[in-house]
Amino acid sequence: MNENTELLLSVQMMRKLYVQYLRDVGPAFGLQPADTDIISFLRFNPGMDTANDIVELRRLSKGSVSQTVERLAQKGYLRREEDPRDRRRTHLYLTEKAEPVVQAIQAKREAYTEMLFHGLSQKEIAEYTRLTRHLMKNAQAAWKTDRSDTGKASGDAGKTSGDTGKASGDTGKTSGDAGKT
């Protein structure tokens, strides 16, 4: 198998497996996959707390994020707060109601991390993390260049349903941080 193909397939496989690990969290709380994705994003990406942050990092449409945020606010899982320095920005914060969902997501993330890194030494995990971050940095730079050249993202590269296209960049984190979403 060609190196490029192998790399892309491995990233896709890890991504799909991560989604499978999380698939039963939402229904247990009456939530859709997009709902748990947004909850996960807000919990595990400190400082990234606006709908625009979600759109940019997850490569999701503004409309999809807006609908999901509205649904979560109506269900009481998050609250919105206007930025006092910039009224155009609205920050999103998880409520106490989201805590059991976050705990369920965290448990699945830990199980995924243990499965994915089974048999690897801490040194190997650290090397994987370093290399993955470098690959993500290159991909992000290419993504920005492509967007500036065309005025938008070409095709829907990087878009995923439910969870983040960022998974491969964070799966290398150690104990509990892998698959950061």
Quote the CA–CA distance of 88 and 79 in Å, as a whole number: 16
| Model confidence band, residue 53 (pLDDT cutoffs 50, 70, 90) | very high
In tens, the pLDDT along 151-164 reads: 554 444 444 334 43
Cβ atoms of 174 and 21 closer than 8 Å: no
Cβ atoms of 35 and 72 closer than 8 Å: yes
Q: What are phi and psi of 94, to 5 degrees?
A: -75, 145
Cα atoms in the 13 Å half-sphere on the side-chain side of 16? 6
For residue 80, list its beta bridge partners.
92
In tens, the pLDDT along 31-42 reads: 999 999 999 999
- pTM metric for this prediction: 0.73
Domains of the chain and any CATH numbers: 3-170 (1.10.10.10)
Quote the CA–CA distance of 149 and 145 in Å, as a whole number: 6
